[in-house]
Amino acid sequence: MLHTITNWIRPFFRKDKESYLCFHKILGFYPGDIRIYEQALLHKSSSVKSDKGRLVNNERLEFLGDAILDAVVADIVYNKFEGKREGFLTNTRSKIVQRETLNKLAVEIGLDKLIKSSTRSSSHNSYMCGNAFEALIGAIYLDKGYEVCKHFMEERIIDRYLNLDKIARKEVNFKSKLIEWSQKNKFTVSFELIEQFQDHSSNPVFQTEVLIEGISGGTGIGYSKKESQQNAAQMALKKIKSDTEFMAGIQNKAESKITEVSTIIDIEDITSTENK
């Protein structure tokens, strides 16, 4: 009891008490190691050097938080929707952890006002707030553990800002989002049915692969071709966000294709001129 009271009072006697109070308002508890939480809000455009000369920002915490958030939300959704199929649970989790939702949640809890960045989120990085939210989850996990992460998501986020039943009913068209992205960036996208089989109850199951510029963006499984395409598209969208090597690969393929087309046109022009 005395230890709990001491931990509650201690922040008021610190020089950085304003930061402690600010995080307490968001989290519902006082940070143990506040440096982790401050790092969670440090965008890479404002990276600082550590004593060892390494650049410090929130990217590593974002990576960790992304995985922890997936696990926590899966845990919550699994217990909320008893008896629902894996596809339903996966889609519901995806709607909660998708970038648009995390961006909105970050703004709702006031995280956007605390992010340290030297760039504008609107023009340079529309995912900055959502990324910081994931980094915050990573910080909570390192500082307090899994159960506190789960409690934070249940009590401070979902109960206040999200209606799980409404979210579960909401349709999210990942395929349309991927196609819209590809058209905007002038990449070709195709969906290939690679396998059809039956589950243990003899229900038909489909597996689809999505290709971007001929490079695999991921595969999806579903009880219909449409569901498998949606799951494949969702995987590809996540890969686009997080896999720089994948993005470099499709960019190189697209540029090579443009070069080949230009070469063919040049040859045709030369041939046409010679014939004249």
Assigned token pair, 30: 């006082």
Active-site hit among 38, 62, 134, 143: 134
73 CB contacts (<8 Å, ≥6 apart)? 93, 96, 97, 153
Half-sphere exposure in the Cβ direction for 112 (13 Å, CA):
17
Of 162, 166, 149, give the one whose Cα is nearest residue 104. 162
* Catalytic residue flag (residue 51): no
Neighbours of 67 (CB within 10 A): 13
Taking the CA atoms of 216, 219, 225 and 231 in sequence, report the sign of the dihedral they define: negative
Helices and strands, counts by H and E, the chain: 13, 5
Active-site hit among 38, 62, 66, 213: 66
How distant, in Å, are the alpha carbons of 176, 212, 221, 231, 274 from that of 193?
18, 15, 10, 13, 46
**Angle at which helices 59-80 and 128-144 pack, to 10 degrees?**
80
Q: 253: buried, middle or exposed (CB in 10 Å: 19+, 13-18, 0-12)?
A: middle
Question: What one-letter code names the amino acid at 88?
Answer: F
Rounded Cα–Cα distance for residues 194 and 253 (Å) = 22
* Catalytic residue flag (residue 213): no
Catalytic residues: 66, 134
